[in-house]
Amino acid sequence: MRFDTIIVGSGLAGLSLALQLAERQKVGLITKKSLLGGASYMAQGGIAAVLSEDDSIEAHVRDTLVAGAGLCNEEVVRHVVSEGKEAIQWLIDRHVPFTHDPEDAGHYHLTREGGHSFRRIIHADDATGKAVQQTLVDQARENPNITILENHMAIDLITGSKLGLENNQCLGLYALDSVENRVKSIAADNTVLATGGTGKVYLYTTNPDTATGDGIAIGWRAGCRVTNMEFIQFHPTCLYHPKEKSFLISESLRGEGGILRLPDRTRFMPDHDERAELAPRDVVARAIDFEMKKRGIECVYLDMTHKGADFLRSHFPNIYSRCLELGINISREPIPVVPAAHYLCGGIATDLSGRTDVPNLYALGETACTGLHGANRLASNSLLECLVFSKAAARDILAKPPGEKRELPLWDESRVTDADEEIVIHHNWSELRRFMWNYVGIVRTRKRLERAQNRIRLLTEEIEEYYSNFRVSQDLLELRNLVLTADLIVRSAMLRRESRGLHFSRDYPEKLANAVDTVLKASP
C-alpha cells in the first residue's frame, strides 16, 4: 500500500489533518479500532479559545503559563493561543453543533474551567468531543481521497537506517490488520503519529482502552527524542462507581460552582489553595489524594445539588443521565469522585510544524510534546493544540515536493510461531498497571521509582523474548508499547530532582529556580 501521507490515529489531530491534506493528497488513516474509539471522542468540557470581548490573548497566555509551572515554551503558547479563534471557526465552518448561549442565541455559550481567568470554553453541551468527532468522521468517510483503515495497529516505522541508507528518513510503517491477522507494509512520503496518550499504563484512568502509548513507543524506537514524560496529569474527578471505571466528571462542573466535600460534607479545597475548586488540576488532584490517604477514605464528593435539576439537565445532560442510570441523582446527592490518570503532557519532541527528529515523520496531539503544556496542561487546551498543530503540519507537508518511491520490505514471520500461553500477556499487563499506580502516581519518592524501574526491567526482558519468538497480536504490541512508555516515564521522573507541576516528589519537595525540560535521546 502507498499514500502521500499515512496518519496513525483518528482523534481530532489525525482527522483534522487528514481533511486538510485530502484537498491535494491521497491520505491513509489508520485507527486501532473504530474511528470513534479514541480520547477525543470522550472529551466532555470543550475547547479553550479567546472568543469574547472580555477576554484577551494575553490573559489566555498568562493562564497557560501559570498552569504550566514555568516550563511552557512561551513562543509556542502565544502561537497556539493566537490561532485559537481561527481554529474554532474552522470547526464552525464544518458545521460542528456548538451550544448557543440560552440568553443570546446569536452567540455561543462559553463556560469556565479550573485555571482560566475568563469564560472561554466553547462546547457542545457536555459532550464536545463526540459532537466534533462525529462531524469530522462523517466528512472523512465521504472524502474519496481518504482511505480509512479501521482495526489496523501500527507496529513500527520503516526508516532509512533500517534499510542501510545514510539518511534515517521515515519511509512508511508496518501495520497489523487485526481482522485478517496479517501484517502489511505501508509506504508514504510522510508519516504522522497521532495515537493519543498512554493512560492505560495506570490502573485507574479516564482514557479509552486504545491509549497504550503506541505513537511514543514507535517514535522512540525510530530515533525520536522524548520530552517531559514525567508529567502525567491526573484528572481530579473521575466517577467512583463499580460499574463505571473511566467516566469523567467534567472540569466544567467545578467551573459552574461545584464544591468538593469530604464524606461528612466538609468542604476542603480552600485549605489547600486560595483558588479552591478552580485551582489547576494538579493542585486539586493532590489535595484529593492527600485527603483520601490522610482519612483512609475511598473517594470524595463533588456537590452540585445547590444548582438545581433544571440547570444540571440543561448544562450537563450526558453526565446527569449517566449518573442517573447508575443510581445517582446529582441534583439531590453529591457525586463520588477519585483522581485518575488523564493526560500526558510529555511525548515526542516536535517543532512548530509538528516535525520530529526523523525526517518525514510528524507527531501531533497527546503523542507530541510541543512545549504548550509545560509541567501541567491548562484545561481544554488539548483539543486546541490538536487543531493548531494539524493545520501547521498540513501546511508543511503540502509545501514539500513528492518523495522518492521505494519498494519496502515485507514483514518477516519466518522465525516465529503462534503463541502458546497468551495468559502471560495479561498477567504482565496487570502487574505493570498496578505498580505504576502505586509507585509512579500523584505523589512519588525515589524509592518508589526505583522499585518500579526494577520491575520494568524484568517485564521488558520477558516481553522482548515473547515478541521475538511469537507472531504479533494487538495485545502483545500494546503491552510492548506500554512497558516502554512506562520506562520512559520512570526514567524522566528520576532525572527531575524537584517538585514542579504534575511531578511531586517527597524527596525533592521544592521547586528549582530554573525550569529545564527532561529530554531523553534514543538511538535509531
Catalytic residue list: 281
How distant, in Å, are the alpha carbons of 11, 210, 253, 380, 411 from that of 37?
8, 8, 24, 19, 27
CA nearest to 247, candidates 347, 318, 170, 344: 318
CA nearest to 134, candidates 99, 97, 101: 97
CA nearest to 437, candidates 247, 197, 205: 205
Q: State the amino acid at position 261 in one-letter form.
A: R
The x, y and z cell numbers of residue 120, run together, are 472561554
Do residues 394 and 387 touch, judged by C-beta distance below 8 A? no
Q: How many C-beta atoms surround the C-beta of residue 295 within 10 A?
A: 12
CA nearest to 332, candidates 322, 323, 341: 323
| CA separation for the pair 3, 369 (Å, rounded) | 26
- C-alpha R_g of the chain: 22
The x, y and z cell numbers of residue 195, run together, are 495515537
How distant, in Å, are the alpha carbons of 26, 48, 166, 292, 397 from that of 190?
11, 30, 18, 48, 7
Burial of 425 (0-12, 13-18, 19+ CB in 10 A): buried
CA nearest to 515, candidates 375, 394, 330: 375
What are the residues whose beta carbons fall under 8 Å from the beta carbon of 337, sequence distance 6 or more? 236, 237, 238, 239, 240, 249, 260, 288, 299, 300, 301, 302
Do residues 83 and 61 touch, judged by C-beta distance below 8 A? no
Q: State the amino acid at position 146 in one-letter form.
A: I
| CA separation for the pair 354, 364 (Å, rounded) | 6
What are the residues whose beta carbons fall under 8 Å from the beta carbon of 461, sequence distance 6 or more? none
Q: How many C-beta atoms surround the C-beta of residue 212 within 10 A?
A: 29
DSSP string of 331-354, one letter each residue: TTSPEEEEEEEEEES-EEE--TT-
Q: What is the largest CA-CA distance in the chain?
A: 68
The x, y and z cell numbers of residue 165, run together, are 541508507
- State the virtual CA torsion across 381, 80, 92, 115 in degrees, nearest 10: 30
| CA separation for the pair 116, 230 (Å, rounded) | 24
Rounded to the nearest angstrom, the gap between the alpha carbon of residue 404 and the centroid of all alpha carbons in its chain is 33
